[in-house]
Amino acid sequence: MNTNSTARHKAHAAVLKAMAHASRLVIIEALATKDHCVCELAALVGADMSTVSKHLSTLRNAGIISDTKRGTSVICHLKCPCVLSFLACVTDVLKTNAREQMDLVA
């Protein structure tokens, strides 16, 4: 484990960690379709706006989303739609897990 690879792994982990929350995944999926303002996302997630605002700043700090101000609203935009490809694989993991659970019962 040299210092460089540790730094790289930490950076990678930070991006994954930013995605690793149900509400933030809801936000990411919503933004995959189209840009949304914070209050729309708050309604979608169903949480306090202050909470959603913090989730958004987590995603922003990780470089996953960007935003522009329009009037009093902040419009959020998914910078890296490739993150959705993660979810396809995650779904595979979950399917495998489910299949194994089935096998245990059967």
We find the least distance from the C-beta atom of residue 37 to its own copies, in angstroms, to be: 17
> How many whole angstroms separate alpha carbon 3 and alpha carbon 9?
10
Nearer CB in complex with DNA: 34/106: 34
Nearer CB in complex with its own copies: 14/39: 14
Exposed/middle/buried for residue 42 (C-beta within 10 Å: 0-12, 13-18, 19+): buried
| 77 contact, one of its own copies, DNA, none, CB 5-8 Å limit per kind | none
> How many whole angstroms separate alpha carbon 21 and alpha carbon 27?
10
We find the least distance from the C-beta atom of residue 25 to DNA, in angstroms, to be: 11
Nearer CB in complex with its own copies: 75/80: 80
| 30 contact, one of DNA, its own copies, none, CB 5-8 Å limit per kind | none
Please count the helices (runs of H) and the strands (runs of E) in the chain. Answer: 5, 3
Packed helices 22-33 and 49-61: angle between N→C axes, nearest 10 degrees: 80
| 72 contact, one of its own copies, DNA, none, CB 5-8 Å limit per kind | DNA
